Amino acid sequence: MAGCLDVIESHASVREYTGEPVEESHLNAIIEAARRAPTAWNLQPITVIAVTERGLLERLARDVGGQEHVARASVFLVFALDARKVWLAARSSGVEPARPGLGHLATWMLDAGIAAGWAALAAEELGYGVAFIAVYGNPCSVAETLHLPQGVLPVVGLAIGRPAERPGPRPRQPPEAFWGRNRYPNLPPRAMAEAVAGVYGGRAARLYRHVLAAGGYYERVSSVLERCLQRLDPGGDAGP
């Protein structure tokens, strides 16, 4: 069996799948890896929905912007920030939580990312192909499709299936742009820009325009998340 470093070394997102179902014992092992993942304060504010129904997969593929590989996946794991169950637990312990805000969103997103990452590594070790999916671009629609209760905000997904393609590794920033020992990397601005943009070759300008420019992807995600933050508030309903 491949070790963790081998799995990481051979990672490449896979978006074509054979359609073979994910074995139940494998699905359990993948979800177990996510359940074992660390969370801040060990608060565990994450709930995972494992979607296998074809009709639901198709609707979710539409919700995340027409990403057909979600519809083709054998399983789509949806990682949701779950204030509902944490509020239920807090209230049953006699504590009334304050409204969730940016701090909850930011730190719980990290928890969800780590959990999804561990699930991805487990799935890849078991021979599956995976692709992370940005649910945070349209979390309210995904929540509606999955009939998630108030207080539960889906943020990231993991499409899983037996690979029907073997993509090579995608480029990464060179180490000298990525890390520094005891201090910030010692690259002059021009060299830093070249090292970072160089990853995308001739596509850098198009990518940066699409995601970073005014009206681009991240501005849209910011306004979506501001609007959907109220979905993370369980309100008064989540009582024991």
Asked whether 127 and 162 are in contact (CB, 8 A), the reply is: yes
The 8-class DSSP code of residue 215 comes to T
Which one among 77, 126, 133, 177 touches ligand FMN, defined by CB under 6 A?
133
- Reading the block at residue 92, the tokens are 């049953």
Which of 161/234 has CB closer to ligand FMN? 161
Q: Spell out, one character per residue from 54 to 83, where the chain touches ligand FMN: x when CB under 6 A holds, - when not.
A: ----------x--x----------------
d(CA 51, CA 46): 16
Min dist. Cβ of residue 182 to ligand FMN (A)? 28
- Reading the block at residue 215, the tokens are 């009206």
d(CA 54, CA 65): 17
Which of 83/133 has CB closer to ligand FMN? 133
217 binds ligand FMN (CB under 6 A): no
Min dist. Cβ of residue 159 to ligand FMN (A)? 8
Closest CA to 21 of 62, 61, 76, 64: 76
Other beta carbons within 10 angstroms of residue 189's beta carbon come to 7
183 binds ligand FMN (CB under 6 A): no
β-sheet with 75-82: strand ranges across: 46-51, 75-82, 152-161, 129-134
Which one among 147, 170, 181, 190 touches ligand FMN, defined by CB under 6 A?
170
Which one among 34, 156, 160, 225 touches ligand FMN, defined by CB under 6 A?
156
Asked whether 121 and 4 are in contact (CB, 8 A), the reply is: yes
The residue count for binding ligand FMN (CB under 6 A) is 12
121 binds ligand FMN (CB under 6 A): no
173 binds ligand FMN (CB under 6 A): no
What is the binding site for ligand FMN (CB under 6 A)? 11-13, 15, 64, 67, 131-134, 156, 170
